[in-house]
Structure 1
Amino acid sequence: MRKNCCLSKPWRKIKKCYITRISLLCASLFLVNVPVFAAEKIDANEKAQQENKAKLENVQKAIAKQESNIFDTNKKRSTLEKELKRDDMAIAKVARAINNIEKQLSERQQQINVLAKQKQQLEQEKLKQETLLAKQLRSAYTTGQHDYLKLLLNQEQSEKIQRTVSYYHYLNKARIEEIENYQATIAQLLQVSTEHQEQIDQLEQLKIHQNQQAQLLKSTKAKRSKTLANLSKQLLSSQQQLAKLKSEENNLNAALQKLSELIQAEINLTGLSKLKRKLSWPVKGRMLHRFGSRKQGYLTWKGMLISAPIGRQVHSIHNGTILFSDWLKGYGLLTVIDHGNGYMSLYAHNQTLLKSVGDRVETGEPIALVGQSGGQEQSGLYFEIRHRGKAVNPKLWCK
């Protein structure tokens, strides 16, 4: 046992030494590889940073490109909207001219009808006078067989001569009067006939002018359609569309606020407070959008959009004074009427406006013609009622 124990001590030393050497060798190998691992890790971090930097640059370029596209789109839309305004104003000018021509045509036709009736009456009167003159001439011819000079020289029947002379004077006077009346009738008939023909000629000229204006209106509308088509190509996102509508609504509110400050209330304008359910709609048509319904995002309709054909007359719902009569972005050709006591009515998207600022209008009076100005694809009237600047439901007033 001792021998074995003695032999085991050197073995233990050798084993311990061996283990120590192996440990030192492993440690040295680990220490040698540490810089290699660290370098690889640094390289990986640098590569990741470069990739992230490249991605960030790409995102920034994409954002810049998108912003540039939005800027270009807004710039193009602004240019096209200005062109649309010019087109709407040109259409309004031609439509108003056509409306005036139609009024003149109606007046000329009425005058022609009156003159035609006068001409017919004068021709009947002329025929009666001719018949009466013919009878008088036959009577004169019948009695004229007794020589007038012989009757004067005949002294035997003085009383009979006196009666005959008086009779001749009576007949002659009556005949002269009828001839004068006949001549007056002929002169009046000639004058009426001449005026009648002049009115007919003017009517034909107005019709020619109306056709020319109609052709001009057609070409102007074609140009507007082209502008709208180009405008529709400039697509807007939902957010941009919402911002656009909000901007247009703010413009309207600002304009109304400015008008409210300029209003000088008239004593005879009593407002609409006592007229609920008593007013007529400004135009007959189908309701496309109702008050309070959703418009875009959180925006709602502040009035009614009524479908109606182009050219139909728009009537004032109540008497008042024209406060605004011009083109406004998003609303086209717009008329605003002050009814007193803070009440206003608005009429938008018209083809043309028939009244100017300051004009007094009565209930039911035509103030505009239905159109689709302001970029509308469908013809109709946008109608609002406001009280002290706040939009109220028109259905509470109109029946």
Structure 2
Amino acid sequence: MKGKYLRLQARQYASVLYTGVFLCVTLSSPAVAESEQLSGVKNEISRQEKQLSTSNQRLNQLQSSLKKQEQAIGGLARQIRQLTLSTQSLQKQIASLQKEQRHLEQEKIGQTEMLKDLLDTYYRQGHKSQLQTLLSGEGSAKQDRMTVYAEALAKARQEAIDALSETNRLLAEKRSAIARQKQEKESKLAKLKRKSDQISKEQKAKKKTVSAITQRIRNDKTYLSELKNNQQRLEKEIKAVAERLKVKMDGLSPYKGKLSWPVRGRVQHTFGSQQSAELRWKGMVIGAKAGTEVNAAHDGTIVLSDWLRGYGLMVVVDHGHGDMSFYGYNQALLKQVGDKVKSGEAIALVGNSGGQKSDGLYFEIRRKGKPINPQSWLTR
């Protein structure tokens, strides 16, 4: 009887224990599930943040590569321009020397003919000696005249010989100078060819980098973010420039509608037109052939000449009184910070830096930091 009671008591205890465990597990499951779900969300956020950080790092690396490539292209383009100008100058010098050579050759022909005539006269006169003159019974006065004439003839002959000798010397110099100039020209043309080949390689590498960047910012959200960041970088650069400006000029106020066009071409984007869903152009884009000279719109001082993300190789000119003009997307920069420039003076070469798809110039005017429509300030 006692054994039966103990077995029943054990079964009751086990039932109570099982029920307790079941209740404990049932009550704790939502908390465990919620904790696990929260942990999963945190892990996903962390993974996405890491992925985004890696993506941004890769984009920054690509932009850094683009900067180096475009700066290299800019340096090569500048060298090519200098070599081209130098070669053109040499060609003008060669043409001038050849003109002088032809003139000297004509002088030489005239001098040679003159010397022939003088020599002929001199020797014909020489056949008649003073003894013959005496025997002929001619007077001393006539003899004196003949002597003077012979001396003058001899002097003229010597002068003609000296002149011809000098002409020959000058001709030799011109021929030597022309040969040197032609050799230098050939050397520069060969160097120009090497630089042109080099720039072609750099441009191919740049094209790949731009394509990779485009892939990185292909969705609208990333593209918009990049555009906004570009504008912020420009604003930051303007602020930094404004803080270090010391030169004061008369500004642009008196010249509205009179400023020089920085480059002539079709206006591809106008001030205020839509750049993206949320952003509008703060300047204008003028299409032009790569390598075309970009000219200062007005007198001023160069306050920025560098690569700026989104705008490529950029030049900023300060005109005083808080007025500045901006020139972006360039292939090469021709001026340095601190240089004084005149209206219409070449300051850069048109390009497509900053990752642009086509050649052109980004042109912007700001008055006291605020962008204004640049087209209304240019000559009609």
Same fold? TM cut 0.5: yes
Give 1:92-107 correspondences, 5 Å limit: 92-107=74-89
Instruction: Return the offset for 1:150.
Output: 4.3
1:239 maps to 2:221 = yes
Alpha-carbon distance change, 55 to 148 in structure 1, aligned in 2, over 3 angstroms: farther
User: Unpaired segments of 5 or more residues in structure 1?
Assistant: 1-38
- Tell which deviates more after alignment, 236-245 or 89-98: 236-245
1:89 maps to 2:63 = no
TM-score by length of 2: 0.88
Query: What is the distance in 2 between the residues matched to 1:322 and 1:41?
Result: 80
Structure 2 partner of 1:224? 206
Structure 2 partner of 1:135? 117
1:296 to 256, 259, 276: 276
Structure 2 partner of 1:71? 53
Asked if the contact 2:111/2:164 (under 8 Å) is kept, the reply is yes
Structure 2 partner of 1:305? 285
Give 1:261-280 correspondences, 5 Å limit: 261-266=243-248, 269-280=249-260
Query: What is the distance in 2 between the residues matched to 1:393 and 1:362?
Result: 22
The alignment-based identity, stated in percent, is: 36
Query: What is the distance in 2 between the residues matched to 1:222 and 1:397?
Result: 37
| Secondary structure of 1:347 counterpart | strand
TM-score by length of 1: 0.84
Asked if the contact 1:265/1:341 (under 8 Å) is kept, the reply is no
Structure 2 partner of 1:387? 367
Alpha-carbon distance change, 389 to 163 in structure 1, aligned in 2, over 3 angstroms: same
| Secondary structure of 2:254 counterpart | coil
Instruction: Return the offset for 1:68.
Output: 2.4
Once the two structures are superposed, residues 339-386 of structure 1 have per-residue CA deviations (whole angstroms, 9 ceiling, x without a partner) of: 122111000111110001111111101100011111112111100011
Alpha-carbon distance change, 62 to 119 in structure 1, aligned in 2, over 3 angstroms: same
Once the two structures are superposed, residues 20-77 of structure 1 have per-residue CA deviations (whole angstroms, 9 ceiling, x without a partner) of: xxxxxxxxxxxxxxxxxxx999999877777766665555444333322211111111
1:316 maps to 2:316 = no
Residue type at the aligned position of 2:191: H
2:193 to 211, 219, 225: 211
Give 1:107-256 correspondences, 5 Å limit: 107-148=89-130, 150-151=132-133, 157-256=139-238
Query: What is the distance in 2 between the residues matched to 1:155 and 1:222?
Result: 99
Structure 2 partner of 1:366? 346
Query: What is the distance in 2 between the residues matched to 1:149 and 1:204?
Result: 66
| Secondary structure of 1:310 counterpart | coil
| Secondary structure of 1:296 counterpart | coil
Tell me the matched-pair count: 362
Residue type at the aligned position of 2:279: L
Query: What is the distance in 1 between the residues matched to 2:51 and 2:215?
Result: 13
Give 1:13-92 correspondences, 5 Å limit: 59-92=41-74
| Secondary structure of 1:293 counterpart | coil
Query: What is the distance in 1 between the residues matched to 2:224 and 2:266?
Result: 26
